[in-house]
Structure 1
Amino acid sequence: MARPVVAIVGRPNVGKSTLFNRIAGRRIAIVEDTPGVTRDRIYAEGEWLNNYFTIIDTGGIEPDTSDVILSKMRSQAEIAIETADVILFIVDGKAGITSADREVANMLRKNHKNVILVCNKVDTHILPDTFYEFYELGLGDPIPISASQGLGTGDLLDEVIKRFPEDKDTEYDEDIIKVAVIGKPNVGKSSLVNKILGEERVIVSDIPGTTRDAIDTLFEVGEDRFVFIDTAGMRRKKKVKENIERYSVVRSLTAIERADVCLMVIDATQGVTEQDTKIAGYAHENGKAIVILINKWDLIEKETNTYLNFEKEVREKLSFINYAPLIFISAKTGKRVNRVIDMIKTVSNNHSMRISTGILNDIISEAILMNQPPSDKGKRLRIYYATQVSVKPPKFVIFINNKELLHFSYQRYLENEIRKAFGFEGTPIWFQFREKKKGD
């Protein structure tokens, strides 16, 4: 069964993102006093009294606008309204009722949805005179809250969970693969997510910086469940000018930290850039499973060795993630995009793989026989045994006699032998070497 969906809607700058962050329990949506900051639908998991649900923050609804971004924001909000089980319509208690509030209320009444009218910015227990104006909207009793201070949010959530449909699943389910789509701005990340999802869940635009937040989108294929996080593209620091874009870089890094699998999208027309290596490096250092996607391959003129030469360049410049599979795609035409889901499942399984201690030590013993450990001044490195201690990524502890005798090249040799035996395609594997003295 699907999880209940709660959408937060309203005109710009009434505190939607602040309430979203309050319910989600962490600062996901960008909060800024600039109307239109939240441009896309942003998804997160909410929980109240052991009831789990999906919460959506939306761009502010501007009922009458010709602005291309604002009009797309409105369409995204309308889609959120269509998919929601409960709608939180936020109004500004300090500003009082506006014509835009009335138009949004009319839109909600036409949809015959389960709407809760939320009067935000009521920072004390004394209701402002403007509070009573909102009864004119015909949406029932307004619930006064202060999203920034948390006042009244418990009462609001009590009302929300009362309105969940009985056929929805509110239990916690951790069997979901979290996928972050990462890369520089304008390499086709949003287009890729849209192609995979088969619907326009994320705004696609040629205007740089359109996707400012990391957007969680639930997606199911058969029995497999995924959460796609379409991240704001990360620019070099010297190009990060406005505060909002600074937040976006942090949000992208946070998305990587939250993910199990990172889809590293590279623009084929630009090749691997310095910024690509930094983004991939961050995912690698955080121990994430990685798939490299070379997008816009349809725009490259092909010759006899075009594919092989490009692959060689990628492998040389991203040599530190040589374990990551490489797929040449076109998000625009859909070429090879159908392979992405299967590869996500493969690398996710490898990221979570556990190897029994017995089999692991058999492989290491065989590797030692084939290539003796290094020695120095008559002392030879001795490897006693190994065990796997964790997953995501797989981490191994190997007990040895002396760390000073351990050469990096031999550590790499052991990693290669383990990869040869077990695969581990798409995931880093970590090693920790501990000294074990006689008598330990």
Structure 2
Amino acid sequence: DLEQDIAGLLRKYNKNVILTVNKVDNPQRLIQANEFYGMGFQNVCFISAISGSGTGELLEEIIKFIDAPAAPSTDGLPRLAILGQPNVGKSSLVNMLVGEERNIVTDIAGTTRDSLHSHYKLFQKEFIIIDTAGIRKKAKVNEDLEFYSVIRAVKSLDEADVCILMIDAQTSVEKQDLAILSMAEKKRKGVVLAINKWDLVKKETNTMKQMEEDIRRKVAPFKDVPVVFTSVKEKQRVFKVVELALQVHDNRKRVVDEKELNEKMLKSIEQFPHPSVRGQFLQIKKITQVPASSPTFIFEVNFPNDVRDSYRQFLDNKLRAHFNFTGVPLNIFFRKK
């Protein structure tokens, strides 16, 4: 029959063959499928494409026959994830930076399905850049493939150090952009806002300044974040985006000298003390930065559970004023002294 003819043809070429039997989706069919061993192939896999059963074993068999060159180590390199809504120019940015068409670029939203990693090493800069599928509202994700692509995009944020959030300058910051920003902040990732398609915006004297003020108002309280207006198509301020992202990466790794930290922060606290609570004054005597993936500070205070959120924000602002933590969410904890 046809299968035997194809098998005979494959044997002539002396190639590695994996016989894959589909629709094996129950124990009865698995028993029946054993007859395919009679075709004489060493590697036989039973799968069910509709349920995914057996596909993992098939991939493992395929990998055995792939001689991939050893990839250079990328441990310790900054990892920049490009996130945003569909069709804001994420793939165009990656293609421009790496100098090749790694990603398909069209005007159709949702073209990028997988998260693609590119190793950039030019002009004395080296980092990993991750392009992701566009993240849109759940109600608008109506394809299974796109649904899983969005999940992979969200997971890409977990392995990134800095998120470059690309926003369409024609629509400015939308609700979904704020949701992505909030997700990056909760995961304690560095953030750069890249406002793309700036060439398509009708400009007046203070258009850029007014739009930046509007953006910072919308992203409050996380306002200490770099904002750069760019046009990937016109190659306008593209490398500025990268420079800011690498600076944010350095900010995220910053360790402050403990003596300098206490001198500057305790002086600010002395000038603006916490309001009294139940007739008791809150006293902060020492601040310590502890090792963590993002800057983390512990304030020793006599009543840690009574510190108000507004004063926590005050301390956050002062840390940023004294030390450069632009684009980086800060962790602030209070401990009884």
TM-score range relative to shorter protein: 0.7 to 0.9
Summarize deviations over 1:85-127 as a string: whole Å, max 9, x none.
xxxxxxxxx99959xx99xxxxxx9xxxxxx846263799979
Tell me how far 1:182 sits from its aligned partner. 0.5
Q: How does 1:274-285 map to 2 (within 5 A)?
A: 274-285=175-186
Alignment correspondent of 1:43: none
* 1:365 match: secondary structure: helix
Tell me how far 1:378 sits from its aligned partner. 2.4
Asked whether 1:221 is paired with 2:221, we answer: no
Tell me how far 1:173 sits from its aligned partner. 4.3
TM-score w.r.t. length of structure 2:
0.83
Alignment correspondent of 2:151: 250
Asked whether 1:339 is paired with 2:240, we answer: yes
Residues in 2 aligned to 1:435 and 1:97: alpha-carbon distance in whole angstroms: 75
Asked whether 1:119 is paired with 2:27, we answer: no
On the 8 A contact 2:79/2:129 being kept in 1, the answer is: yes
Q: How does 1:322-333 map to 2 (within 5 A)?
A: 322-333=223-234
Alignment correspondent of 1:392: 293
* 2:133 match: secondary structure: coil
Residues in 1 aligned to 2:5 and 2:122: alpha-carbon distance in whole angstroms: 45
Alignment correspondent of 1:24: none
Summarize deviations over 1:4-53 as a string: whole Å, max 9, x none.
xxxxxxxxxxxxxxxxxxxxxxxxxxxxxxxxxxxxxxxxxxxxxxxxxx
Distance change >3 Å, CA 185–CA 397, structure 1 → 2 = same
Structure 1: segments with no counterpart, 5+ residues: 1-93, 103-108, 110-115, 134-141
Asked whether 1:238 is paired with 2:146, we answer: no
The correspondence for 2:103, drawn from 179, 193, 202, is 202
Asked whether 1:423 is paired with 2:324, we answer: yes
On the 8 A contact 1:177/1:227 being kept in 2, the answer is: yes
On the 8 A contact 2:98/2:120 being kept in 1, the answer is: yes
On the 8 A contact 1:216/1:230 being kept in 2, the answer is: yes
Residues in 1 aligned to 2:130 and 2:287: alpha-carbon distance in whole angstroms: 36
Alignment correspondent of 1:26: none
Alignment correspondent of 1:435: 336
The share of aligned pairs that are identical, in percent, is 34
Distance change >3 Å, CA 271–CA 120, structure 1 → 2 = farther
Residues in 2 aligned to 1:281 and 1:153: alpha-carbon distance in whole angstroms: 36
Summarize deviations over 1:104-153 as a string: whole Å, max 9, x none.
xxxxx9xxxxxx846263799979369668xxxxxxxx865679365587
Q: How does 1:34-53 map to 2 (within 5 A)?
A: none
Asked whether 1:128 is paired with 2:36, we answer: yes
Letter of the structure 1 residue corresponding to residue 128 of structure 2:
V
Q: Give aligned pairs, total.
A: 317
Alignment correspondent of 1:305: 206
On the 8 A contact 2:95/2:101 being kept in 1, the answer is: yes
On the 8 A contact 2:84/2:135 being kept in 1, the answer is: yes
On the 8 A contact 1:294/1:329 being kept in 2, the answer is: yes
Asked whether 1:185 is paired with 2:93, we answer: no
Tell me how far 1:377 sits from its aligned partner. 3.3
The correspondence for 1:295, drawn from 182, 193, 196, is 196
Tell me how far 1:273 sits from its aligned partner. 0.8
On the 8 A contact 1:96/1:131 being kept in 2, the answer is: no
On the 8 A contact 1:351/1:391 being kept in 2, the answer is: no
On the 8 A contact 1:119/1:145 being kept in 2, the answer is: yes
Residues in 2 aligned to 1:274 and 1:154: alpha-carbon distance in whole angstroms: 42
Tell me how far 1:221 sits from its aligned partner. 2.6
Tell me how far 1:348 sits from its aligned partner. 0.5
* 1:128 match: secondary structure: helix
Distance change >3 Å, CA 349–CA 130, structure 1 → 2 = farther
Question: Runs in 1 of length 4+ with deviation above 3 angstroms?
Answer: 94-98, 120-133, 142-160
Distance change >3 Å, CA 164–CA 332, structure 1 → 2 = closer
* 2:221 match: secondary structure: helix
Structure 2: segments with no counterpart, 5+ residues: 25-29, 48-53
On the 8 A contact 2:135/2:153 being kept in 1, the answer is: yes
Alignment RMSD, CA only?
3.2
Letter of the structure 2 residue corresponding to residue 293 of structure 1:
A
Tell me how far 1:231 sits from its aligned partner. 0.9
Residues in 1 aligned to 2:275 and 2:288: alpha-carbon distance in whole angstroms: 21
Residues in 2 aligned to 1:183 and 1:355: alpha-carbon distance in whole angstroms: 32
Alignment correspondent of 1:407: 308
Tell me how far 1:358 sits from its aligned partner. 2.5
Summarize deviations over 1:70-93 as a string: whole Å, max 9, x none.
xxxxxxxxxxxxxxxxxxxxxxxx
Tell me how far 1:431 sits from its aligned partner. 0.7
* 2:79 match: secondary structure: strand
Summarize deviations over 1:284-315 as a string: whole Å, max 9, x none.
11100000000000001110111111111111
Tell me how far 1:328 sits from its aligned partner. 0.3
Which deviates more from structure 2 when the two are superposed, residues 289-298 or residues 244-253? 244-253
Distance change >3 Å, CA 265–CA 118, structure 1 → 2 = farther
Residues in 2 aligned to 1:383 and 1:120: alpha-carbon distance in whole angstroms: 70
On the 8 A contact 1:146/1:153 being kept in 2, the answer is: no
On the 8 A contact 1:95/1:130 being kept in 2, the answer is: no
